[in-house]
């Protein structure tokens, strides 16, 4: 039974891309981010806007990522701008 478990684990092992020789840490991190299907957004909010965001997220049971995505997806000025 133990060997069967180990065989299953080995078959599901994910192989990672190796960093090319000579590539800097910064360049490698940037290259890795290009292969992900997400983007990083940062902003400094005014206190009242931050409180509104937190209240919206709490009301709809969302985390920061889901809350911001939902606001952007449903905002009327951002519709049909594909």
Q: Any idea where the domains of the chain sit in the sequence?
A: 2-78
- Say how far apart CA 58 and CA 51 lie, in whole Å: 10
- 70 contact partners, CB below 8 Å, separation of at least 6: 60, 62
Does pTM surpass 0.75?
A: no
Provide the token pair at 19.
Answer: 């960093």
Can you give the pLDDT at residue 12?
66
User: Digits of tens for pLDDT over the chain (82 positions)?
Assistant: 566 666 666 666 667 777 788 888 878 777 776 666 677 788 899 999 999 999 999 999 999 989 999 999 999 888 876 5
Inter-residue contact 57 to 67 (CB < 8 Å)? yes
Can you give the pLDDT at residue 60?
94
Q: Name the DSSP letter for residue 42.
A: -
């Amino acid at each position: 039974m133990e060997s069967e478990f180990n065989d299953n684990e080995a078959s599901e092992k994910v192989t990672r891309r190796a960093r090319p020789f000579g590539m800097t840490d910064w360049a490698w991190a940037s290259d890795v981010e290009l292969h992900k299907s997400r983007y990083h957004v940062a902003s400094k909010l005014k206190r009242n806007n931050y409180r509104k965001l937190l209240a919206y997220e709490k009301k709809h049971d969302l985390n920061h990522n889901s809350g911001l995505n939902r606001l952007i997806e449903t905002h009327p000025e951002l519709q049909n701008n594909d």
